[in-house]
Amino acid sequence: MIRILTILQTAFSLWMLIDAIRRRSPFYWYILILLPFGEIAYFLMVKIHDPEWQPIRDRFASIFQRKASLQDLRYRREQTPSFENTVGLAQALYNAKQFEEAVDLFQRALRMEESEEALYGLSLSLMGLKQHGEAIERLSRLIELRPEYEDYDGWPHLALALTEAGRSKEAVPLLERLVEMSPRLNHRMLLAHYLMRNGNAQQARRQLETGIAEYHQAPRYLKKRQRAWVRQAKKMLQQSQSD
């Protein structure tokens, strides 16, 4: 066991040393990394600030940061009715499924500033109240202002709102636009899902086959991110062929 830990520590030290060399870090880091626990200090002070470690930083921050209660957020807004405090309270109300009050506050925030954050929150709150017509209007505006907001999350919500409003055929051209703009595998899968809903199984299969083929040609780092998606895409393709 001790031998395994020693090997792992040595490998970690080499990783940090190579990173410092590639980064052209100040010379003192090379010495520090070779000292006991120096590689850990380098990781925590330098390496962890790289963009790919952002999810881990966010996870640790959420552990040590106490979430403000609804009562706290209401008090903050009463004391300072700013845009930020209004949206913060509205978001908390949405999370608590108190959609009516969330809608009111998101609308107040939008009167202060037309922001993507407030439009998105208002749209989801309206969907929570089954007011799909108004949600469609707000989501359409969000996509017009910033199509990629929340990693393109407005598009599937808009497709769902159109479907719930009895306008599912409009979801297909909408998602075709999304795929033209961002031809990711999950976006092709979303389009394929709505194509199948509207009886276009052949077109759906073409989207899935194209997405799977693009996955196999993608760089390794992209394949790693999309591994779960490609498994699901293959299941969808198999199901569409058996129907």
CATH label of the domain that carries residue 89: 1.25.40.10
152 contacts: CB under 8 Å, gap ≥ 6: 178, 182, 187
Please count the other Cβ atoms lying within 10 Å of the Cβ belonging to residue 134: 16
> Do residues 109 and 94 touch, judged by C-beta distance below 8 A?
no
Please classify residue 184 by burial: count the beta carbons closer than 10 Å to its beta carbon, then call 0-12 exposed, 13-18 middle and 19+ buried: buried
**Which position has the token pair 């090997």?**
7
Instruction: Note whether 162 and 98 are same-domain residues.
Output: yes
Instruction: Note whether 21 and 109 are same-domain residues.
Output: no
Specify the pLDDT at position 9. 76
Residue 11: closest CA among 33, 41, 44: 33
Instruction: Note whether 80 and 142 are same-domain residues.
Output: yes
Specify the pLDDT at position 2. 66
Q: Residue 102 belongs to what domain range?
A: 67-166
Domain finish residue from 145, 166, 187: 166
103 contacts: CB under 8 Å, gap ≥ 6: 122, 125, 126, 129
Instruction: Note whether 74 and 161 are same-domain residues.
Output: yes
User: What pTM was estimated for this model as a whole?
Assistant: 0.72
> Do residues 188 and 176 touch, judged by C-beta distance below 8 A?
no
Instruction: Note whether 97 and 161 are same-domain residues.
Output: yes
The count of structural domains within the chain is 3
Please tell me what DSSP assigns to residue 69. Answer: P
Domain finish residue from 112, 143, 166: 166
Mean pLDDT of the chain: 88
Instruction: Note whether 117 and 173 are same-domain residues.
Output: no
To the nearest whole percent, how much of the chain has pLDDT over 90?
60
Residue 89 has pLDDT above 60, yes or no: yes
Instruction: Note whether 81 and 136 are same-domain residues.
Output: yes
Give the containing element (helix H, strand E) for 238: helix 220-242
Instruction: Note whether 99 and 185 are same-domain residues.
Output: no
Domain finish residue from 136, 166, 196: 166
Specify the pLDDT at position 177. 97
Residue 152 has pLDDT above 60, yes or no: yes
Instruction: Note whether 153 and 191 are same-domain residues.
Output: no
- Dist. CA 109–CA 82, nearest whole Å: 8
Instruction: Note whether 145 and 81 are same-domain residues.
Output: yes
Please tell me what DSSP assigns to residue 184. Answer: -
Instruction: Note whether 74 and 157 are same-domain residues.
Output: yes
Residue 140: closest CA among 171, 97, 110, 186: 171
Instruction: Note whether 77 and 160 are same-domain residues.
Output: yes
- Dist. CA 26–CA 20, nearest whole Å: 8
Helix/strand/coil for 11: helix
The per-residue pLDDT for range 191-218, each reduced to its tens digit, is: 999 999 999 999 999 999 999 999 989 8
Give the containing element (helix H, strand E) for 133: helix 132-145
Four-residue CA torsion sign, 189, 181, 131, 106: positive
Mean pLDDT along residues 119-148: 97
